Chain A
């Protein structure tokens, strides 16, 4: 059963933007890494901090630019998308980071074993982050006329996820008094891709919950799935980027982390696109 007035189309531009975001993240990292190696800039503590904060804002900036460009063809209120982005950022700063870092003190125990990394990553980090990104959409735009098609769930949840990622990256920069541009920019791109991807999953479930009669377990399943992806990804990321130590020294595997994030983001976006398309066809047939 569809909600009256719902516009049911695929919003191909949005999916193109998602793919461009993933490619742009890789290009962004390569460019900053190459510039850092070529110019080897010297920073004061203040400029290093500022450079880190600016870099932390770039992934979200890239996505918003793409979104703005496609928006001319398929109008979506930019103010609302920006509002959800800011709401995601505020929830991360006000609740998410304090709960994970101060209340649960995750960094003290999550790396003590593989089981702790996976279970802590799912139960504490995953559920906290995915619930807050869900809340940013569910308690703001969800019941308005602006959330008028299934793909809107993915769009708004992605905006919330990028807001959350931006605050995580800024917090990382500030906590470390700035970051090494090369390694730091990889971390920022990975966090942005991962957060956008996991919230995309929640967004898909939100979109279907709004326009179809789903069972009561539907939305909890969505949050749980996103939290599991979140926890398992962080565990895999830890394995992949672990430095390889040989007799000739240690190698930095941060690039492998970016490759993993890009592959996971591409696969998840592909799966969501397929699911949304199938869902829209199903809804159109029902009409």
Chain B
């Protein structure tokens, strides 16, 4: 196969195509970020946060103040929730974490704690509980394999109240969705 040399005009045209494509993709990246980071204010019982825009917000259950689900997630829908627990004044975060873990073990299929530790979350002391479970869809007509869900709870204890901020995502989306959750976590005030 005989090949010919690029002319100078060809080379400039070639570079221009690459530049235009890169510019389009950079604009696409910023546009993606603007959609993913768009938020709506949330406020309940003294807790405020910036919740992701366009996500489903079902009615919260039990101790939950807030729950939001990304319906565009593949597999298990990425879920954020905030719960408020009333506790005695002197109960440490570790003890609350044990109660939360026990509740999860009762409610969630194949629940396992992966890691737990004290952490600092944007200047606040918290207890981090990382876990995994299997999504158990009660709908028997649901003809799909159950999903493995990776979750992390941040437990904040203040003035006889515990706030549990949960992040649950499909194991395949957990790392990719984590940055968006950290934005949400950062926006929470109580």
Interface bits B139-174 vs A (CB < 8 Å: 1, else 0): 000000000000000000000000000000000000
B4 on the interface (CB 8 Å rule)? yes
A282 on the interface (CB 8 Å rule)? no
Q: Is the interface of A mostly helix, strand, loop or mixed?
A: helix
Q: How far is the CA of A123 from the CA of B14 in the complex (A)?
A: 19
Q: Choose from B9, B10, B20, B27 the contact partner of A220 (Cβ within 8 Å).
A: B20
Q: Is there an interface contact between B16 and A216, defined as CB atoms closer than 8 Å? A: yes
A134-B17, A146-B1 known; A127 vs B28 contact (CB < 8 Å): yes
Q: Is there an interface contact between B17 and A220, defined as CB atoms closer than 8 Å? A: yes
Q: Is there an interface contact between B1 and A116, defined as CB atoms closer than 8 Å? A: no
Which of A55-63, A107-115, A246-254, A261-269 faces chain B?
A: A107-115
Q: Give every chain B residue within 8 A of A209 (Cβ-Cβ).
A: 10, 13
Interface bits A43-54 vs B (CB < 8 Å: 1, else 0): 000000000000
B98 on the interface (CB 8 Å rule)? no
A200 on the interface (CB 8 Å rule)? no
Report which residue of A108, A119, A127, A213 has the largest number of chain B beta carbons within 10 angstroms of its beta carbon: A108
Shortest CB distance A116–B (Å): 6
Q: Choose from B1, B12, B28 the contact partner of A104 (Cβ within 8 Å).
A: B28
A-B pair count, CB < 8 Å, reads: 86
Q: How far is the CA of A144 from the CA of B54 in the complex (A)?
A: 51
Q: Is there an interface contact between B35 and A128, defined as CB atoms closer than 8 Å? A: no
Q: Is there an interface contact between B32 and A217, defined as CB atoms closer than 8 Å? A: no
Interface size on B, residues (CB 8 A): 32
Q: Is there an interface contact between B54 and A119, defined as CB atoms closer than 8 Å? A: no
Q: Give every chain A residue within 8 A of B1 (Cβ-Cβ).
A: 80, 144-146
A108-B70, A123-B25, A124-B25 known; A138 vs B14 contact (CB < 8 Å): yes
Interface bits B1-34 vs A (CB < 8 Å: 1, else 0): 1111110011011101111110011011101100
Q: Choose from A106, A127, A219 the contact partner of B13 (Cβ within 8 Å).
A: A219
Q: Is there an interface contact between B176 and A116, defined as CB atoms closer than 8 Å? A: no
Q: Give every chain A residue within 8 A of B32 (Cβ-Cβ).
A: 104-106, 109, 120, 124
Q: Is there an interface contact between A127 and B31, defined as CB atoms closer than 8 Å? A: no
Q: Is there an interface contact between A218 and B31, defined as CB atoms closer than 8 Å? A: no
Q: Is there an interface contact between B24 and A127, defined as CB atoms closer than 8 Å? A: yes
Shortest CB distance A22–B (Å): 28
Interface bits A114-147 vs B (CB < 8 Å: 1, else 0): 0010011011100110010010001000011110
Q: Give every chain A residue within 8 A of B136 (Cβ-Cβ).
A: none
A68 on the interface (CB 8 Å rule)? no
Q: How far is the CA of A106 from the CA of B176 in the complex (A)?
A: 13
Report which residue of B9, B21, B27 has the largest number of chain A beta carbons within 10 angstroms of its beta carbon: B21
B73 on the interface (CB 8 Å rule)? yes
Q: Is there an interface contact between B13 and A218, defined as CB atoms closer than 8 Å? A: yes
Q: Give every chain B residue within 8 A of A190 (Cβ-Cβ).
A: none
Q: How far is the CA of A80 from the CA of B1 in the complex (A)?
A: 10
Additional A-B contacts beyond A123-B31, A131-B18, A143-B3 (11; CB < 8 A): A107-B72, A112-B35, A119-B28, A123-B24, A124-B32, A127-B25, A127-B28, A209-B10, A216-B9, A216-B16, A219-B14
List 25 A-B pairs, Cβ < 8 Å: A104-B28, A104-B29, A108-B36, A109-B35, A112-B35, A113-B35, A113-B54, A120-B32, A123-B28, A123-B31, A124-B28, A127-B25, A127-B28, A131-B21, A138-B14, A143-B3, A144-B1, A144-B3, A209-B13, A219-B14, A219-B16, A220-B16, A223-B21, A224-B20, A224-B24
* Residues of chain A whose beta carbon lies under 8 Å from any beta carbon of chain B: 80, 104-109, 111-113, 116, 119-120, 122-124, 127-128, 131, 134, 138, 143-146, 209, 213-214, 216-220, 223-224, 227
* Residues of chain B whose beta carbon lies under 8 Å from any beta carbon of chain A: 1-6, 9-10, 12-14, 16-21, 24-25, 27-29, 31-32, 35-36, 54, 70, 72-74, 176
